Structure 1
Amino acid sequence: MSVYRVTEVIGTSSKSWEDAAQQAVSAAARSLRDLRVAEVVEQDLTLADDGTIDSFRTKLRLSFKYEQPIGAPEWEGQEARQTIPA
């Protein structure tokens, strides 16, 4: 059985939404392992005072494989339920 965690990140770029997404994934990959899926949740722009585009922002929902901490109890099956303190 595999378990995945999901987190949201926002990337910014002066070039494009695609570059903003790449910035977000690259930053997340420095601290998260086994990235699996990046889903674009939202895209928006920041505007300069003169109304021109200042930056592109892309919000992503990233999923990555959950790694059980060393020494943590197993959470599968009946034995796991019995290890949870009441």
Structure 2
Amino acid sequence: MSVVKVIEVLANSTQSWEDAAQTAVTEAAKSLKSIRSVYVKEFQAVEENDQITQYRINAKISFELKDSEGPQT
């Protein structure tokens, strides 16, 4: 039986919301194994001089806990 844990992360990008989501997954993967999915909960943008300068997301990343290794955080 598998157990899945969900963490909430914030990420940003100067390129796009998709790039911000990829950044969230890339950074989470440095310390988490068995990532299963990412759910983008909220989108936000920072505007300066009529231009978007930052794309921000609030995301939930789910990953499987391994029985023999114990919880991953």
Aligned residues: 70
Structure 2: gaps (5+ residues):
none
Match of 1:31 in 2: 31
CA distance in 1, matches of 2:68, 2:46: 40
Q: Among the aligned pairs, what percent are the same residue?
A: 39
Q: Deviations over 1:54-85 (max 9, x none)?
A: 20011110000113465x7xxxxxxxxxxxxx
Whether the aligned pair in 1 keeps the contact of 2:35 and 2:64 (CA below 8 Å) is yes
Q: Provide the TM-score with structure 2 as the length reference.
A: 0.84
Where do 4+ consecutive residues of structure 1 move more than 4 Å?
Answer: none
Match of 2:16 in 1: 16
TM alignment of 1:5-84, pairs within 5 A: 5-48=5-48, 50-68=49-67
Larger % of helix: which? 1
Does 1 or 2 have the higher relative contact order (CA < 8 Å, sep 6+)?
Answer: 2
What RMSD, in angstroms, separates the aligned Cα atoms of the two structures? 1.7
Structure 1: gaps (5+ residues):
73-86
Q: Deviations over 1:17-51 (max 9, x none)?
A: 00000011100000100000111101111222x34
Q: Provide the TM-score with structure 1 as the length reference.
A: 0.72
- Between structure 1 and structure 2, the one with the greater Rg is 1
Q: Which letter maps to 1:5? A: K
Larger % of strand: which? 2
Match of 1:2 in 2: 2
Whether the aligned pair in 1 keeps the contact of 2:41 and 2:59 (CA below 8 Å) is yes
